[in-house]
Amino acid sequence: MKLDLTEALSQEQLEAQKQRVLDAFETLVGRNGAGNDFLGWIDLPENYDREEYDRILKAAARIRETAEALVVVGIGGSYLGARAVIEALSPSYDRQTPEILFAGNQLSAQEMAELLDYLKGKTFAINVISKSGTTTEPAIAFRLLKSLLEENVGAEKARELIFATTDRQKGALKTLADDAGYETFVVPDDIGGRFTVLTAVGLLPIAVAGIDCDALMAGAQTMRQTTLQADFDQNPALSYAAARLAMMENDKKTEIFVAYEPKLHYFQEWWKQLAGESEGKEGKGLYPTSVGNTTDLHSLGQWIQEGPSIHFETVLWFDEAVRDVAVPEDADNLDGLNYLAGKPLHFVNEQAMRGTRQAHVEGGVPNILLTAKRLDAETLGELIYFFEVTIGVTGYALGINPFNQPGVEFYKKNMFHLLGKPGF
Ligand code: PA5
């Protein structure tokens, strides 16, 4: 993976952040900052429960054999990582069964009614994921889906098709799962939701989708070795954190994560949660947003090029396409495209990326370019770990606790009051 900061800031601007970043890194790896009881993700790629990992792969194989669909029930960190990896690495069309569906990540009545209609009569599995076990959105979805599944296949068979991923020993979902006899997997105590993609939270749905979990973990292991070095020049997470801090000092308010691959849409959503929920505190933090190009060059591209100068871009590019097609020759050439005949589409996409980058830089938009080899499980494991370290370091450099999310409680209190929940 290569990080190119040359179109974003000067060497002097980067150097100016160096000590601040190294101090923050020391706090992170020394585990002596705020939220240091949520740092289990740092060693996770090496230090995970092998027995549970095997159980995850076995459960996934059973689901693949017996179910037409898997419904992943969770919200925030309890679904975005799995969805990010599954969407990035699965074919866009004509997917193999079981189909992977996501529920409990909003409260739309219409969505739920349509999902229940779609699943009526089907043999589907449910993976309900909630660390607290009390989150309203997944709890309601799980009640409805469980009841439909029992109607479809009977209570006994439903029990074998429901998997709960939750706290090791406490919480409403743990009690419910133990009482009902569901197989359970663990959300580790020391890992917050948005850092759990490489735990059972992400791995069970990812394995059901037929994705190589070993390769995902191997990628994270490689990046762990790279990004746990306290050497500023050898550790790309430190340079990236420094660049982001320099942007904030330069009055940039928003970071736009740019991808040229539609399969990365949910990876961008995962990154937005990781950055936004970790950094947006005490009046600090970049607003993380994203675009999918070239689609968004025909909508938001105008704002990015000529709107108020409050943003910078981080572009993720893959050197190789996993699959490619060539532009065909046409005898009539009425569309004037024969100058591209025989050229791979990935080459055309690359020139769009390079041309856009140049235009935005000339328009005053700083541009960070992150280049990876190809979109596969190993690379995705690397990227996940890379972004996790960057966000931890940036958060500590900002002087906030990157591992809590106190602001999330405010809407819940009001909603519970309006709903008449006892005690609110
Ligand atoms: O990152 C986080 O901690 C949150 O997004 C949680 O994952 C989310 O609120 C869901 O919480 P729970 O897993 O307790 O249902």
Q: Say how many C-beta atoms besides its own lie within 10 A of residue 324's C-beta.
A: 11
Q: Is 90 exceeded by the pLDDT of residue 286?
A: yes
Given 122, 253, 265, 412, which residue is catalytic? Answer: 412
Mean per-residue pLDDT over the chain, rounded: 97
pLDDT tens, 160-211?
999 999 999 999 999 999 999 999 999 999 999 999 999 999 999 999 999 9
Kindly list the protein residues whose Cβ atom lies closer than 6 A to any atom of ligand 1. Answer: 75-78, 130-132, 135, 138, 192-194, 277, 405
Q: Is 90 exceeded by the pLDDT of residue 133?
A: no
Q: How confident is the model at residue 224 (pLDDT cuts 50, 70, 90)?
A: very high
**316: which strand partners?**
259, 370
Q: How confident is the model at residue 350 (pLDDT cuts 50, 70, 90)?
A: very high
Does residue 265 carry a catalytic annotation? Answer: no
Q: Is 90 exceeded by the pLDDT of residue 96?
A: no
Q: Is 90 exceeded by the pLDDT of residue 132?
A: no
Given 277, 313, 382, 388, which residue is catalytic? Answer: 277
State the distance from the centre of ligand 1 to the C-alpha of 187, rounded, in angstroms: 11
Does residue 298 carry a catalytic annotation? Answer: yes
Residue 336: predicted pLDDT: 98
Residue 268: predicted pLDDT: 98
Does residue 343 carry a catalytic annotation? Answer: no
Which ligand 1 atom is nearest residue 405's CA? 3
Residue 249: predicted pLDDT: 96
Residue 97: predicted pLDDT: 78
pLDDT tens, 52-72?
999 999 999 999 999 999 999
Q: Is 90 exceeded by the pLDDT of residue 338?
A: yes
pLDDT tens, 230-275?
999 999 999 999 999 999 999 999 999 999 999 999 999 999 999 9
Average pLDDT over residues 359-371: 98
State the distance from the centre of ligand 1 to the C-alpha of 190, rounded, in angstroms: 13
Percent of the chain with pLDDT over 70: 100
Whole-model pTM over 0.85: yes
Burial of 232 (0-12, 13-18, 19+ CB in 10 A): middle
Q: Is 80 exceeded by the pLDDT of residue 323?
A: yes
Given 12, 51, 298, 409, which residue is catalytic? Answer: 298
| Separation of alpha carbons 91 and 381, rounded Å | 18
Q: Are 162 and 145 in contact (CB under 8 A)?
A: no
Residue 353: predicted pLDDT: 98
State the distance from the centre of ligand 1 to the C-alpha of 129, rounded, in angstroms: 9
State the distance from the centre of ligand 1 to the C-alpha of 356, rounded, in angstroms: 36
Residue 374: predicted pLDDT: 97
Average pLDDT over residues 216-232: 97
Pocket test for ligand 1, best of 132, 166, 186 (most atoms within 8 A of CB): 132
State the distance from the centre of ligand 1 to the C-alpha of 201, rounded, in angstroms: 11
